[in-house]
Amino acid sequence: MKFESSRNFYAYFSLCIFLATSVLAAHAQSAQISPSSVTHGIAVANMDRSITPGDNFYLYANGDWIQRTVIPADRAAVGVFSTLDDVANKNTAALIQEAAKSNAPAGSNTRKIADLYNSYMNEAAIEAKGLAPLHPQLTAIAAIQTKRELARALGESLRADVDPLNNTNFHTANLFGLWVAPGFNDSDHYTAYLLQGGLELPDREYYLNDSAHMKEIQAKYQTHVSAMFRLAGFDDADGRAARVIALEHAIAETHTSLADDEDIHKANNTWKHSDFSAKAPGLDWAEYFSGAGLTQQASFIVWQPNAFTGEAALVASTPVDTWKDWLAYHAIENYAGVLPKPLADEEFAFFGKTLTGVPQQRPRWQRGVRLVDDLLGDAVGKIYAQRYFSPPAKAEAQAMVANIIAAYRVRIEALPWMAPATKAEAEAKLTTLYVGVGYPETWHSYAGYDVRPDDIFGNIRRAALFHYHQQVERLGKPVDRKEWSMTPQTVNAVNLPLQNALNFPAAILQPPFFDPKAPAAANYGAIGSIIGHEISHTFDTEGSTFDSKGRLRDWWTPADLAHFEAATAKLAAQYDTYKPFPDLHVNGKQTLAEDIADVAGISAAYDGYHASLARKAAPVQDGFSGDQQFFIAFGQNWGMKIRPAALRRQVMTDPHAPAQYRADTVRNIDAWYKAFDVKPGQTLYLAPPDRVRIW
């Protein structure tokens, strides 16, 4: 686990399968109004009814809110996701503060929560220790003399800090990243995946793109790296920074793009130990795996072979001293948030202000809560679920999930283009799909994690090692298909294709996404479309490559696959036309899986909504019919404001399209045209043959 003091806390980029930046509707949370005036349903006050729905549905649903909303100084974006995240953070903070006062027994989860939070909040202790906590690492790096010693040091730095299917910390700052998950070819046991790494900036394009904007970022990055060296007491800071950035640029040239990484079949490359030396010469792999504690692991799945070949060659061709500078810089950067204030401020100045456009750091208590969430998430989550998610709320959410799954099954059965054999496999995936609602059935253990009340640096370092060793120990063991990848206090949702499972944490199952007092139209348009989105990931370009047991297997007939690929290519081309900036457009291939899930998810949610009516008339709200409420609620899921720098980063590095284009995906849904009388000549109008229909 990599501790990113500001990078995880200043921006709302949750790189999970559901959403990155999200949503806002005018409810109590966003408008800061009293609970008695909360709207249970669509937020009519957020709409701009002067806009024709068929010209810009996003602004029609959200325009007035966008006009009156100002992004807070410590945010990259604002929306329902950020608002609900604030609610979850405040609730979590209350739990943590209770834990801090409880005098719980040493070694208990409650004591660990308290000690971790208090150690982070003790700024005086951090300042008093200065750079001393970092010195052992820097001294060990300085002692490296040979490429063999370098290989061991690189292996010792390997961490389980990547998840390519959920895009979590995808670009690890270590040379490579480890992911432990069910095997592509043996989904019953955990296997080891290795992924490209070595970059501090968000993506290879930040090094390789030569636009004026990116050249400015690159220049500021070099200034930042130099400043970090200087603040850490290194001589020749400018020279070291130049060498580090030149090396990272060379590493970036070996990397596979995010769009190309979407092809799972290209990632299924099993290498034995002997294959590394043959296919990626230049790195002493025996020493590397020894340093990583993976000598006994017989084989690995190498996600990006070209990157491994290229990065290993760079180990051979680049002087040891340059690699030592690279290791030292990443060590400084990784822990800057818990080092003296000048280092922490410099880190935020670049990763917060420059990269994302956020002028102000989050309050320290919020960063502390997020840190505890990151390192002791299930310990906090168990208390959170007991306090904030009632059994009736869970039962109601489960009923909605079941209804949308049933609607999805009907849609599959009715597909005219899909062969019976393919339909049978698709329906088997729905039958075996595990849906976790609210909180997990079992909780992660932190028994081996040593947390000390006066050692935040050590707490973070030990957490990374604890998590790494915990993951390595799972290799070869049976898979728990009901294991969660999110905590209950997380405002998000996720599809886990290797487990054929979904997680809907408690924190996202609250108004305005999920409101038991709202009409069905609003709930199905809001949380229902999110549920449908996650179910749809089971059949997107990624999910469709896995069968009902999570195995990477071709279960499509050739004709069905050809139809699917033609439809998805059409959707990718549609998104390629969207340009949030004159010099930057959405990469339809990069966002394709999410775009498929949006189109299919709203379709299934719409069917589920109509099934829920049981042939009864839908209630009207403020003159809007049930269908209109449904689509407006969906559009209001995506109402948000985002800073330009953050939006650029999203377009370049995120598999989700920007919010406005996600709202406008309704242009592919026939029922939307009828609901709002959308006609030819309006901006979003697509002729029936041009509308993308997949599931």
Residue from 425, 172, 473 nearest 303 by CA: 172
Inter-CA distances, 317 with 309, 314, 439, 457, Å: 12, 5, 49, 34
Do 357 and 76 touch, CB atoms closer than 8 A? yes
Instruction: Name the DSSP letter for residue 73.
Output: T
Do 534 and 597 touch, CB atoms closer than 8 A? yes
Q: Tally DSSP H helices, then E strands, for the chain.
A: 29, 9
The answer to whether the peptide bond before residue 512 is cis (omega within 30 degrees of 0) is: yes
The answer, yes or no, to whether residue 27 has pLDDT greater than 50, is: no
Inter-CA distances, 144 with 149, 290, 316, 319, 527, Å: 6, 16, 15, 12, 54
Which two three-digit tokens encode residue 604? 């299934």
Q: Which residue's structure tokens are 């292996």?
A: 155
Main-chain phi, psi angles of 177, to 5 degrees = -125, 150
Q: What pLDDT digit, counting tens, does each position of 559-587 carry?
A: 999 999 999 999 999 999 999 999 999 99
Q: Which pLDDT band holds residue 81 (cuts at 50, 70, 90)?
A: confident
Q: What pLDDT digit, counting tens, does each position of 55-74 carry?
A: 999 999 999 999 999 999 99
Which two three-digit tokens encode residue 48? 């701009």
Main-chain phi, psi angles of 110, to 5 degrees = -60, -40
Other CB atoms within 10 Å distance of the CB of residue 515? 19
The answer, yes or no, to whether residue 15 has pLDDT greater than 70, is: no
Q: Rg of the Cα trace of the chain? A: 25
Provide DSSP, 427-491: HHHHHH-EEEEES-SS----TT----TT-HHHHHHHHHHHHHHHHHHHTTSBP-TT--SS-TT-S
Q: What pLDDT digit, counting tens, does each position of 398-435 carry?
A: 989 999 999 999 999 999 999 999 999 999 999 999 99
Q: Which domains does the chain have, with CATH numbers?
A: 28-90+367-690 (3.40.390.10), 133-322 (1.10.1380.10)
Residue-level pLDDT at 171 = 45
The answer, yes or no, to whether residue 2 has pLDDT greater than 60, is: no
Q: Indicate the helix (H) or strand (E) that contains 494.
A: strand 494-496
Strand order in the sheet with 434-438: 434-438, 501-505, 494-496
The answer, yes or no, to whether residue 12 has pLDDT greater than 50, is: no
The answer, yes or no, to whether residue 167 has pLDDT greater than 60, is: no
Do 464 and 1 touch, CB atoms closer than 8 A? yes
504 or 29, which is more confident: 504
Residue-level pLDDT at 172 = 58
Instruction: Name the DSSP letter for residue 303.
Output: S
Return d(Cα 150, Cα 157) in angstroms, integer: 11
Main-chain phi, psi angles of 179, to 5 degrees = -130, 125
Residue from 16, 32, 45 nearest 508 by CA: 16
Q: What percent of the chain has pLDDT over 70?
A: 93
Residue from 240, 207, 190, 232 nearest 481 by CA: 190
Mean pLDDT along residues 258-281: 93
The 3-state DSSP class for residue 345 equals: helix
Residue-level pLDDT at 440 = 96
Return d(Cα 349, Cα 358) in angstroms, integer: 9
Residue from 423, 397, 451, 447 nearest 539 by CA: 423
Q: Which residue's structure tokens are 């998430």?
A: 377
Is the pTM higher than 0.85? Answer: yes
The answer, yes or no, to whether residue 9 has pLDDT greater than 50, is: no
Provide DSSP, 563-605: HHHHHHHHHHHHHHT--SBTTB---TTTTHHHHHHHHHHHHHH
Return d(Cα 494, Cα 183) in angstroms, integer: 19
Residue from 565, 541, 543, 562 nearest 552 by CA: 543
Residue-level pLDDT at 17 = 30
Residue from 203, 94, 182, 265 nearest 485 by CA: 182
Q: How many CA atoms lie within 13 A of 82 on its CB side?
A: 26
Do 571 and 692 touch, CB atoms closer than 8 A? yes
Q: How far apart are the first and last CA of the chain?
A: 37
Residue from 105, 82, 190, 54 nearest 673 by CA: 54
444 or 102, which is more confident: 444
The answer, yes or no, to whether residue 228 has pLDDT greater than 90, is: yes
- The strand pair at 176-182 and 190-196 is best described as antiparallel
Inter-CA distances, 351 with 129, 234, 684, Å: 24, 21, 36
